[in-house]
């Protein structure tokens, strides 16, 4: 007895499977529960669900995804892109585009970093050194400190004194020269200059 040929729809699906199109493009139709497309008699062939591949981000998209989280300097942004596998030339082009379109700005980054570090208890020497590591010019560094002054955040002696007050008691400092030296050393390590450190200790002793 002659074998019954497959239906038109099933035959088309079988042809697609044979050519590899169905698996790749998700074009195999649903021919109903219990239907089989036989490779050999009695063997059912199931169409695999199509695989979706994640879309690869462009260097500019990678740069933008970093910038929407926080400010970056040009140097930092370029380094991060290269670390993610972006070619150096493509990273340079992406950073240039972000700067041109206003998404990246070194002066804005400098203000943001200075404000963040000051708020975390670091002194002007530490902040200036960190800004220099990003290869910012002196005008951008000066503008960052000017912005702190304009916002009333540039009283470094008061900042140093408040920082000490969280760790030391004024009366204890008054009575113990060794503790005063320890307090000064603490401020020096946080990036406050010697003059500022001694002034802050005196200020706390007088409270």
Task: Map out the domains of the chain as residue ranges.
Answer: 7-47, 59-104, 105-154, 155-207
Taking the domain 105-154, which CATH number applies?
1.10.10.10
> CATH topology of 59-104 equal to that of 155-207?
yes
- All residues at 6 or more sequence positions from 193 whose CB lies less than 8 Å from its CB, including other chains: 123, 124, 125
Does CATH place domain 155-207 in 1.10.10?
yes
Residue 57 dihedral angles phi and psi, to the nearest 5°? -75, 140
Does CATH place domain 59-104 in 1.10.10.10?
yes
pLDDT tens for each residue of the chain, 207 residues long = 444 444 444 444 444 333 333 343 333 334 334 433 334 444 444 555 666 666 789 999 999 999 999 999 999 999 999 999 999 999 999 999 999 999 999 999 999 999 999 999 999 999 999 999 999 999 999 999 999 999 999 999 999 999 999 999 999 999 999 999 999 999 999 999 999 999 999 999 988
Q: What is the DSSP string of 95-159?
A: HHHHHHTTS--HHHHHHHHHHHHHHTT--HHHHHHHHHHTT--HHHHHHHHHHHHHTT---HHHH
């Amino acid at each position: 007895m002659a074998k019954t040929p497959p239906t038109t729809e099933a035959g088309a699906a079988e042809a697609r499977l044979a050519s590899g199109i169905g698996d790749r493009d998700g074009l195999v139709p649903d021919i109903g529960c219990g239907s089989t497309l036989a490779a050999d008699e009695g063997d059912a062939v199931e169409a695999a669900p199509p695989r979706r591949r994640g879309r690869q981000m462009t260097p500019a998209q990678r740069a933008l995804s970093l910038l929407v989280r926080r400010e970056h300097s040009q140097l930092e942004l370029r380094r991060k892109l290269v670390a993610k596998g972006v070619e150096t030339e493509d990273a340079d082009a992406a950073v240039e585009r972000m700067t041109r379109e206003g998404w990246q700005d070194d002066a804005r980054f400098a203000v943001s970093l200075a404000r963040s570090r000051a708020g975390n208890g670091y002194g002007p020497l530490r902040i200036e050194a960190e800004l220099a590591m990003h290869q910012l010019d002196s005008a951008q560094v000066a503008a960052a400190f000017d912005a702190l002054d304009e916002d009333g955040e540039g009283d470094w002696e008061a900042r140093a004194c408040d920082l000490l007050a969280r760790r030391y008691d004024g009366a204890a400092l008054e009575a113990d020269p060794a503790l005063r030296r320890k307090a000064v050393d603490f401020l020096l390590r946080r990036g406050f200059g010697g003059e500022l450190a001694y002034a802050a200790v005196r200020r706390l002793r007088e409270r």
